[in-house]
Structure 1
Amino acid sequence: MSKSLSTSVSSGIIANFAEITKIRLSVSVVFSSIAGYLLGAETVNFTILLLLCLGGYCMVGASNVWNQIIEKDLDALMDRTKNRPLPSGRMSVRLAFVLATLLTLLGIVILYTINAQTAMFGAISIFMYVSLYTPLKTKTPLSVFVGAFPGAIPFMLGWVAATNTFGIEPGTLFMIQFFWQFPHFWAIGWFLFEDYKKGGFFMLPTGKRDNGTAIQVVLYSIWTVLASLIPAFQVTGSLKLSRVAAVIVFGIGVWLIYYAIRLYKLKTEKAAKQLMLVSVSYITLLQIIFVADKFLS
């Protein structure tokens, strides 16, 4: 095999791995876990942090691979997903199955070396995402509610990895990211409505891009912001937020709610896409603010 051909094959394998594990989504989930760990840790253990990153990526990657195995035929129907490794034929289902199995086992083992609770929550996340959320996507809009549970685990997972305990602090982190899931995924479901319809996915709460859906987007955006501000009232154990940080969180919360209201008023794909981007920025900035506040105040 020539050097150029070998390089091409290697880059193709890496590209397929990155795509089937949804590298950008997986990295963002790992980022949430890191934020949770930094919030919970009294002193930062970089070995545990590395294990959390590796184990977390394996678990999220495994969930994504299992998801794409199950939805292979449906993915082929949608423009957004038809060029993924499985529907395009660049990867066989057998190879994807082996990869998903290895990532699942590796992820659980790595997280177990941190502590048993971290591994347990990681395993619950995979189970709920693959066995409940994925099959429900073509059956009921309640799939988003079910999917919000595994989606909210990473933020609290980091705290559990740092402390080996589950209490009000990781519960609060879970609640924040749980409420955030709804405006985020409903915004995606809105601007990809026609494409999702090709695959038979029901992502919007009313099944339509209507007032009912838009009002719920606004309400859940408000609840997300309110949940984010709870630590400012010193009622969530060792998870606290200073007044300055609370004002900043409130500011980005107003930003999120503004774009949710904008979607309610305009009801356009562009407004939904803008809300999606703002929601991603919101949760990222929120986690940075929480961590910075802990170490700077």
Structure 2
Amino acid sequence: MSSNNNTISQPTLFSKFVAITKARLSISVVISTVAGFVLGLEYWNQNSWITLLLLVVGGYCMVGASNVFNQIIEKDLDALMDRTKNRPLPAGLISTQNALILGIVLTVLGLSILFAVNPKTAMFGAISIFMYVFLYTPLKTKTPLSVFVGAFPGAIPFMLGWVAATGHFGIEAGTLFIVQFFWQFPHFWAIGWFLYEDYEKAGFFMLPTGKKDKKTAFQIIFYTIWTILASIIPAFGFTGKLFLTKISAVIVVLLGFWMLYYALKLYREMDKMAARKLMIVSVSYITLLQIVYIVDKFLR
């Protein structure tokens, strides 16, 4: 009987952990960090694999902790939205106290592991969690500028990988940061558009004008163009060891035009479906861009 109970409880605990740390989102952020690490590493050896493992585990702890603290702060608001009402805290699956303990443990563990990689990696990890939890999260109910503030911690993972590989923050890491920084705007505004009514229930201000209007759609196009321009900066030889060949730059531009097409489509159609498609394409864009950067490094 006891054995059966243990068998049943284990997946339940695991599924709660997966939900409260937003595992799918956390893993996607960690993958972005790994991409930056691969780009920054000059040559592979046994220590590289150990560093990569520490980065993955430490990175997941930090992102997971951010998500836990975010859900503690927004517990009552999450209960108002269809998308989030079944999360562990509003659903009563995890107590706020236990969630807080988990968040603290993940933060300490994550920072310690990232410090073992190098101090700069831990520092940027700490900045990321601070900005996400103490600035971005409370600002979501106050001002549309929350997306601008949230773009900073959101852009850190890609460049964090480079810093982990090199122990150095320079023009290369800065460029990776800029690419992901500009990308955040069309991505999150697309989400804010197709989830507008749900966000409205909790009083979240996610769109730049606060409305699903032409001005918001235009800003999405504007920042999509900036994302494309930022993404091809490494092709011009100004970014140190981060370099992109002309062929890869053309591929990146074509990927950018693909995303721009859906941004323009949203401007024309002004509906939820167009916004959802743009969100999906934006995720594909940043993933494919990182793959192109990495393949380019190893083929040239």
Q: The TM-score by the shorter chain falls in which range?
A: over 0.9
User: What's the counterpart of residue 5 of structure 2?
Assistant: 5
Which one-letter code corresponds to 2:158 in the other structure?
F
Distance 2:8 2:258 in 1: 44
Distance 2:283 2:20 in 1: 21
User: What's the counterpart of residue 268 of structure 1?
Assistant: 271
Which one-letter code corresponds to 2:289 in the other structure?
L
Distance 2:167 2:185 in 1: 29
User: What's the counterpart of residue 122 of structure 1?
Assistant: 125
Distance 1:5 1:77 in 2: 33
Distance 1:210 1:280 in 2: 23
Of 244-253 and 136-145, deviating more is 244-253
Secondary structure of the structure 2 residue equivalent to 1:91 = coil
> Which consecutive residues of structure 1, in runs of 5 or more, have no partner in the other structure?
none
The counterpart of 1:295, out of the listed 291, 295, 298, is 298
User: What's the counterpart of residue 30 of structure 1?
Assistant: 30
1:226-274 alpha-carbon deviations (Å, 9 max, x no partner): 0000101111111000111111101101000000000011011000000
Secondary structure of the structure 1 residue equivalent to 2:67 = helix
Distance 1:69 1:206 in 2: 28
Distance 1:296 1:17 in 2: 40
Alpha-carbon distance, 1:192 to partner? 0.3
Alpha-carbon distance, 1:296 to partner? 1.2
Distance 2:264 2:271 in 1: 12
Secondary structure of the structure 2 residue equivalent to 1:8 = helix
Which one-letter code corresponds to 1:72 in the other structure?
K
User: What's the counterpart of residue 194 of structure 1?
Assistant: 197
Matched, 1:74 2:101: no
What fraction of aligned residue pairs are identical, expressed as a percent? 66
Task: List 4+ stretches of structure 1 deviating above 6 A.
Answer: none
Secondary structure of the structure 2 residue equivalent to 1:90 = coil
Matched, 1:243 2:253: no
Distance 1:251 1:267 in 2: 24
User: What's the counterpart of residue 102 of structure 2?
Assistant: 99
User: What's the counterpart of residue 287 of structure 2?
Assistant: 284
Which one-letter code corresponds to 1:229 in the other structure?
I
User: What's the counterpart of residue 231 of structure 1?
Assistant: 234
Alpha-carbon distance, 1:25 to partner? 0.6
1:144-166 alpha-carbon deviations (Å, 9 max, x no partner): 00000000000000000011111
Which one-letter code corresponds to 1:13 in the other structure?
L
1:51-71 alpha-carbon deviations (Å, 9 max, x no partner): 000000000000000000000
Which one-letter code corresponds to 1:12 in the other structure?
T
Distance 1:172 1:265 in 2: 32
Which one-letter code corresponds to 1:190 in the other structure?
W
> Which consecutive residues of structure 2, in runs of 5 or more, have no partner in the other structure?
none
Matched, 1:20 2:20: yes
What is the RMSD of the two structures over their aligned residues, measured on CA atoms? 0.7
Relative to the length of structure 1, the TM-score reads: 0.99
Relative to the length of structure 2, the TM-score reads: 0.98
The counterpart of 1:52, out of the listed 55, 61, 69, is 55
Matched, 1:222 2:225: yes
Alpha-carbon distance, 1:4 to partner? 3.1
Alpha-carbon distance, 1:30 to partner? 0.4
Alpha-carbon distance, 1:8 to partner? 1.7
Distance 1:295 1:3 in 2: 50
User: What's the counterpart of residue 40 of structure 1?
Assistant: 40
Distance 2:223 2:13 in 1: 40
Secondary structure of the structure 2 residue equivalent to 1:152 = helix
Alpha-carbon distance, 1:5 to partner? 2.6
Distance 1:270 1:20 in 2: 28
Alpha-carbon distance, 1:43 to partner? 1.4
Matched, 1:169 2:172: yes
